[in-house]
Amino acid sequence: MDPMVRWETGATERLQVAALELFTTQGFEQTTAAEIAHAVGLTERTFFRHFSDKREVLFYGQDQFVQVFLDGVDAVPSPAAPLEVIASALRSATAFFPDGRRPYSRARQTVIDQNPALQERERHKLAGLATAVAGALRERGISEPGATLAAESGATVFRIAFAQWIRAGEERSLADIATGVLDELGHLTRRPLPDPESA
Amino acid sequence: MDPMVRWETGATERLQVAALELFTTQGFEQTTAAEIAHAVGLTERTFFRHFSDKREVLFYGQDQFVQVFLDGVDAVPSPAAPLEVIASALRSATAFFPDGRRPYSRARQTVIDQNPALQERERHKLAGLATAVAGALRERGISEPGATLAAESGATVFRIAFAQWIRAGEERSLADIATGVLDELGHLTRRPLPDPESA
DNA sequence: CCGACTGATGTCAGCCACAGACATGACCGT
DNA sequence: ACGGTCATGTCTGTGGCTGACATCAGTCGG
């Protein structure tokens, strides 16, 4: 193309942008990988060199997100209750989604919510996150099954909070919402019977 | 073939058996759908009439399992703490996996554990279970996010217990293991700091 | 300053998952 | 006997995804 520049830079990012755009306007299944690639002047083969599969174009970069979670785990001094560690991880993770990112997250989630295959991948990524956190908890001396229970609970809290964060009309920060959900989790096992009058 | 019988009966089950056998001996990716079908005298096209996709041959029938979980939810009188409802659901669900089923579950899980695509599907099914249970909890008057938190926690307990149940050498019943894990969950938010002398 | 090397890309060929359309033939009720 | 149903087979096509090989700008050692 331009004789001075052999390739445009940031092929990965350009592909991601084009993919979200196409998925939004015509749907995930109705969009072919070749179509996305051609939209940014590349070929299908190159698309698959950047992303291991078609779904991954929407999830690429989440490994970085896992690291933020783990940083939050490491941020709390070592002998601590599992829930405290989880709270720290959530603080760290939620900081990764400032309010400015909300519109993008909403658009992305709209696409995911309309495709079972994408929901599968999303759950899978979150499961990987929980597995990583569970490993970190074990290294802190928390034994199984407590480590996995805590990690999965943290992932669940994040998921619920995130879903609320991108809901239409919601304006609280992700951190604030997550704090509230985590609080609910704390009540889960403590809550007494609502009414002793039960049959 | 046999002029008296046009088709062998139970095509779905025969396909499932052949699939597990082939996946075990040569791996999931190395086995084509056509291969499975031909192993039981059918064609690839027929395979996809029985299962929506290749992975589904290992998961077909789980909708029934969800129902067992929901039956457990309904089995406890209406005003009850979320954790009690979850406990009931777990009792009901674990009864669905008697010890005689353990060898089969082990073989199946071995295949799943070796394949990311299958793990994805497994998580997806479990997520669907949690969603269904959360809905049932909401109908019992438990509001969000408590309903989802409780349902997801129950699913996590089941997952952990199930993984332990099929571990080599494990001989306790699934119900016993699940009870223990659920107990751990109860301690999660209550547990004081571990021994400061740890490590 | 040149030639080997690297790295992102294109090209080509092919496998396989999966789906639509239509044909077949045993069974079943009437 | 006949028409409908239903599980299956056959044929054909699309798209996800991969291996092998070519290309060619920039880079770096000599």
Helix (H, G, I), strand (E, B) or coil at B8: coil
**pLDDT score recorded for residue A1:** 38
Give B-chain residues touching A167 at CB under 8 angstroms.
Answer: none
**pLDDT score recorded for residue B192:** 53
Tokens describing residue A41? 């002047």
Q: Which of B59, B149, B183 to mutate to test the interface with A (most CBs of A within 10 A)?
A: B149
Q: Is the separation of the CB atoms in A24 and A110 below 8 Å? A: yes
Distance CA(B159)–CA(A145), nearest Å, equals 11
Does the pLDDT value for residue B110 go beyond 70?
yes
**pLDDT score recorded for residue A78:** 80
Nearest to B19 by CA among B6, B42, B1, B159: B42
Average of per-residue pLDDT across A28-36: 98
Q: Is the separation of the CB atoms in B164 and B177 below 8 Å? A: yes
- Which residues have Cβ atoms closer than 7 angstroms to strand C? A 7, 11, 37, 41-43, 45-46, 49-50; B 4-6, 31-34, 44-45, 48, 52-55
Distance CA(A186)–CA(A82), nearest Å, equals 11
Contact between the CB of A26 and strand D at under 7 Å: no
**Cβ atoms within 10 Å, residue A4:** 5
Burial-class residue B45 by CB neighbours within 10 Å (0-12, 13-18, 19+): exposed
Q: How confident is the model at residue B191 (pLDDT cuts 50, 70, 90)?
A: low
**pLDDT score recorded for residue A3:** 40
**pLDDT score recorded for residue B2:** 42
Task: Give tens-digit pLDDT for A129-186.
Answer: 999 999 999 999 899 999 999 999 999 999 999 999 999 999 999 999 999 999 999 8
Residue B89, min C-alpha distance to chain A (Å)? 16
HSE-up of residue A81 (Cα within 13 Å, Cβ side): 11
Contact between the CB of A46 and strand D at under 7 Å: no
Give B-chain residues touching A150 at CB under 8 angstroms.
Answer: 188
Residue B141, min C-alpha distance to chain A (Å)? 10
Helix (H, G, I), strand (E, B) or coil at A141: coil
Does the pLDDT value for residue B4 go beyond 50?
no
Q: How confident is the model at residue B63 (pLDDT cuts 50, 70, 90)?
A: confident
- Given an 8 Å threshold on Cβ–Cβ distance, is B123 in contact with A121? no
CA geometry: angle at B196 spanning B195 and B197, to 5°? 85
Tokens describing residue A132? 């990583």
CA trace torsion B87, B93, B97, B98 (10° rounding): 60
Task: Give tens-digit pLDDT for A88-120.
Answer: 999 999 999 999 999 999 999 999 999 999 999
Which nucleotide's C1' sits nearest to the alpha carbon of A29?
Answer: D15
**pLDDT score recorded for residue B104:** 95
**pLDDT score recorded for residue A192:** 52
Tokens describing residue A171? 């304006």
For chain B, the farthest-separated pair of C-alpha atoms sits apart, in whole angstroms, at 77
Specify the DSSP element, H or E, that contains B115: none
**pLDDT score recorded for residue A5:** 59
What is the end-to-end Cα distance of chain B in Å, rounded? 68
**pLDDT score recorded for residue A63:** 85
Round to a whole number and report the distance in Å from the CA of B1 to the C1' of D1: 26
Query: Which of A120, A144, A190 is the closest to B189 by Cβ?
Result: A190
Average of per-residue pLDDT across B164-171: 96
Mean pLDDT of chain A: 91
Mean pLDDT of chain B: 91
Q: What percent of chain B has pLDDT over 90?
A: 83
Residue B43, min C-alpha distance to chain A (Å)? 26
Amino acid symbol at A9: T
Nearest to B120 by CA among B186, B54, B178, B169: B54
HSE-up of residue A100 (Cα within 13 Å, Cβ side): 2
HSE-up of residue B130 (Cα within 13 Å, Cβ side): 25
At a CB cut-off of 8 Å and minimum separation 6, what does B12 contact?
B50, B60
Length of chain B: 199
Distance CA(A133)–CA(A20), nearest Å, equals 29
Nucleotides of D under 7 A from a protein CB: 7-12, 15-20, 24-26
Which nucleotide's C1' sits nearest to the alpha carbon of B31?
Answer: C16
Distance CA(A185)–CA(B152), nearest Å, equals 11
Nucleotides of C under 7 A from a protein CB: 8-13, 16-21, 25-27
CA geometry: angle at A136 spanning A135 and A141, to 5°? 95
Distance CA(A193)–CA(A198), nearest Å, equals 9
Which nucleotide's C1' sits nearest to the alpha carbon of B45?
Answer: D9
Q: Which residue of B has its CA nearest to A187?
A: B189
